[in-house]
Structure 1
Amino acid sequence: MEQKNWSRVRELVGYQRYDSPEEFKLLNQIWELDRIFTNYLLPQHKLVSKTRHGAKVTQVHDRPTTPHQRAVAHPAVRKIPVIRLNVEFKKIRMMALSQQILELTGGLEKLSVAKSRAIDPAGEEGSAMNQLLRGDFHLRQRIKVPGGIDMTQQVDTPLAYLFVTG
């Protein structure tokens, strides 16, 4: 599947190769849970207009709303689908959903690492999401040093800490 770097797919499952039936089964479970998460709980900006004045491009976005909210508010959607969407939305337990996704991605990572260790004894680091949860990612910030030199410096705060507290 082609996508932007670090979009939902790679964010959830990392960059490993998944080709066994067990991995395929876990991936399908992850995609179903992520569909619920993305469509009901993840607000998104939609581009309303784009204007160009010479080299400058100005983009105007609407306020962030979830695809569920957009569908319910759309005048062409009939009442029965809206009722079904709202019933499904009321059944969602956000923390349980995210915990299920984390458990499945952890299981997927274990399968992939076990498979890769059988091929390559060095193993792999694991998916980006699991590295994030372990606190293995650190921010890198650009700083300007007197004299106009840009430098990159590692910040010791784990990125997961910033998501929780920031």
Structure 2
Amino acid sequence: MEQKNGDVVRRHAFHYRYDTPTELRLLNELYALVRIRLNLFTATVKAVGWRSNRNGKNVHVYDRPATPYQRVLASGVLDAANTDQLAALFRATNLADLTRQITAIQTQLIHLAAAKTDALTAGVTRAKPREARTHLSRAS
């Protein structure tokens, strides 16, 4: 489970280091929006069993794709109040607006990370084009 959560975090928040209160606030906002998109609009498949293919190898059998929202409704474990609350959230959520909000937060996070990187590398100079190309003999 941790591997899948890490994939979700890295896919949406990238591999930058975030260590300021502003970045924490943006990450919290981002995760709240990503959670809604993943649970209401992203279909997944679940392995439900095994079968043998024509070569005798066991392979997984998957159910039909469904969102976590659809799966929890189909399970019947929610009471009427929670079902109505989730249905209201689903009806009120515009996927295009949600994606635009996620993209805007990601852009802000990228700019903050770039600013920190630029500040760290401000005094660093690069090698000149032919500076590191000295020929050494095998004996050296």
RMSD over aligned Cα atoms = 2.5
Task: Give the match for residue 136 of structure 1.
Answer: none
Structure ranking higher in helix proportion: 2
Task: Give the match for residue 85 of structure 1.
Answer: 86
Task: Give the match for residue 126 of structure 2.
Answer: none
Structure number with bigger Rg? 2
Residue deviations 1:116-156 (CA, integer Å, cap 9, x gap): 1111249xxxxxxxxxxxxxxxxxxxxxxxxxxxxxxxxxx
Once the two structures are TM-superposed, the CA of residue 88 in structure 1 deviates from its matched residue by: 0.6
Residue deviations 1:27-48 (CA, integer Å, cap 9, x gap): 0000000010000000011111
- Asked if 1:19 corresponds to 2:19, the answer is yes
1:72–1:5 CA distance, 2 compared to 1 (3 A): closer
Structure ranking higher in strand proportion: 1
Q: Which runs of 4+ in 1 moved over 3 A?
A: 50-55
Structure 1: tracts of 5 or more residues without a match: 123-166
Tell me the SS of whatever aligns to 1:88.
Answer: helix
CA distance in structure 1 between the aligned counterparts of 2:90 and 2:122, rounded to whole angstroms? 45
Q: Percent sequence identity over matched residues?
A: 33
**Structure-1-length-normalised TM-score:** 0.66
1:121–1:49 CA distance, 2 compared to 1 (3 A): farther
- Asked if 1:47 corresponds to 2:56, the answer is no
Task: Give the match for residue 30 of structure 1.
Answer: 30
Residue deviations 1:60-82 (CA, integer Å, cap 9, x gap): 11101001111111123222211
Q: What is the identity, as a one-letter code, of the residue corresponding to 2:81?
A: I
Once the two structures are TM-superposed, the CA of residue 50 in structure 1 deviates from its matched residue by: 3.3
Once the two structures are TM-superposed, the CA of residue 7 in structure 1 deviates from its matched residue by: 2.4
Q: What is the identity, as a one-letter code, of the residue corresponding to 1:56?
A: K
CA distance in structure 2 between the aligned counterparts of 1:8 and 1:86, rounded to whole angstroms? 24
CA distance in structure 1 between the aligned counterparts of 2:56 and 2:119, rounded to whole angstroms? 54
CA distance in structure 2 between the aligned counterparts of 1:116 and 1:55, rounded to whole angstroms? 54
**Structure-2-length-normalised TM-score:** 0.77
CA distance in structure 1 between the aligned counterparts of 2:122 and 2:13, rounded to whole angstroms? 21
After the TM superposition, which of the residue ranges 32-41 and 50-59 deviates more from structure 2?
A: 50-59
Structure 2: tracts of 5 or more residues without a match: 124-140
1:67–1:5 CA distance, 2 compared to 1 (3 A): closer
After the TM superposition, which of the residue ranges 53-62 and 63-72 deviates more from structure 2?
A: 53-62
Tell me the SS of whatever aligns to 2:81.
Answer: helix
Task: Give the match for residue 72 of structure 2.
Answer: 71
